[in-house]
A and B are shown apart, each in its own frame.
Chain A
Amino acid sequence: MADRGDTSVVLRAEQVVAGYVKGLPIVHGASLHVARGEVVTIIGPNGAGKSTLMKAIAGLIGIESGRVTLLGREVTGQPAEAVVAAGLGYVPQTGNVFTTLTIHENLRVGGHLLRGGEMAARLERAYQTFPVLAAKRRDRARTLSGGQRQMLAIARALMTDPAVVMLDEPTAGLAPKVVQEVFDRLRVLAAGGVGVLIVEQNAKGALRNADRGVVLVEGRNHLEGAAAALLGDPAVGAAFLGGAVGRRSSPQGPAETPAQEVQS
């Protein structure tokens, strides 16, 4: 499928079918795209396949069919290390820092692909952006609080200057004040030109802080549109309450950008 001449799209996933066990897919042909400087959030009920889709895009689980392109380059089916090398940053939900390594070492692993000279510069930049980490750089990551770990995880992913960063439930288990801090950081990141894709269980909070939203139900695209529009759309709430799979006839609501056509 042609890229529609939209050069600002940094990540595109088309009709991805994937799961943990071959032959038993959890994601049944989901699609999404992220443009430069955009914050897109994937929301949906439990078991909808949100995390699975993210892992498939990252190359951590196999893709049975569909396509993933990063900066216009096809990365479908490549192992995670290759996808990261192509410009992706990924922060998983759990186990997103190396607890046995120090903060400094965590960042160094994040910069594994960097050339020697770049490593020092990126480390400095990470410490300037996240002063909390600088203060504790020799401490083991397991001594960090939940919010600090999240900071480290994000800083780690940013070491390679990725074009797209994907975060799986970045605010899970965090105190409300810290939650907003995280969202703010992500907005700043996007403002710098990075495409940000997040999976969130906290749909309201995510939509309030995102540009666009994609609703996934039972592994398929259900709704899509501007975040503000989705916030006010009753169909979104219905989807979360275990509503019908497939298209709803209710309007998407007013929006600056027209809602995407959704194929079941």
Chain B
Amino acid sequence: MLLLILAWRNLFRNKRRTFIAGAAIGLGLASLIFTDGLILGMEQTMVRNLTASFLGQGQIHAAGFRQTTAVEKTIHGLKEVVGRLERDPRVSHFAVRALSQGMLSSAADYRPVEVIGVEPDRERLVSQLDDMIVKGRFFTDRNPRDVVVGADLAKDLAVSIGDRVVLTVAQSQTGTLAQDLFFVSGVYRFNSRDLDSGMALILLPKAQDLLALGQNAHEIVLDFRNPDLAGDSKNAFWREYSQGGDEALGWPELMPQVELAFRYSELSLYVLGFILFGVVAFGIINTLFMSIYERIFEFGVLRAIGTRALRVAGMIVLEAAALAVVSIAIGMVFGFLATALFSRVGIDYRGIEMMGVTIRNLIYPVFRVRQFWFYPAWVIVFTVVTSVYPAAYAARIRPAEAMRKTL
């Protein structure tokens, strides 16, 4: 106890040095906190961009649908699944879709497209397509002959709002060709070549009719109240809905390359942490040694009067710990301020396209609890560990020699 008080007071005997060392380490911690927040914010924004745009946080299909995209592979027990989803408190929104390959032709040209039958009311809540409409509307009239296409596709086909197009698909089971007339009712722009040139959206009942699907559909897109659930592949949700021939998957499984990119950035965070601690180590050792030199006479006296070596060492270690505490305080304050500032203002990565989606928003660093206990804890641990070397030195000071040093 006495040691602790002594250590603490020793620390403040040279306020300036303590403060400088504390600031250095604190700044390191602050940057770690900030970078952590930044990477997390970036991940979240990108996931949000990716999933909210069209993919959804999770999807349900018939097992095997994703590999072959055969029109016959519709979701088993669609009605029951929909009912369960409606009652499921974990799910915030979901939408049902029918999917098929097809051909969209205008007088000018033709293009292969992915035909998507959607439910506009539900679809609005789950994807951003309706926000990306640049011309026309997103099925506000509910006309079964409405078709909504991407801006690139509209350009390729030389069509605009109100123009006629013919959609050709192969029906379920028979493969018989079915054609129908549609009028372009909306054009969206996502700034992604894939999304803007390859999809044609029609009303779900119309798609079911055209494809001879009856009441079936191919895909349910979901969003959760807690977005973290989507990234958690171990969560019970996935198992519960992967029954009866269906399979439910979260975005990490649907787009594994995104997940990997994140792992890679987190790796960079570790490297940063490592670097930081390297610098911290030198700072600590330096500071402690300075402080020891200065007080070498004192140490001599202490040892001369019988203080055991271990206690002297212990005092140094406690001083280091105390310094760590000071540093952490400084670090957390600055880390908090920096992260808070940018989480308001945001960092501009706009216009960059990553994974096929253009970043449209600013990146906001995100706080998380671990920034304020995990990293500080490591600072303390590391500080204490590196203090062992100076502490050992202090413990081995020979009283007689020490008392002879005056400067």
Are A and B part of the same complex? no
Q: Which residues of A contact B (CB under 8 A)?
A: none
Q: Which residues of B contact A (CB under 8 A)?
A: none
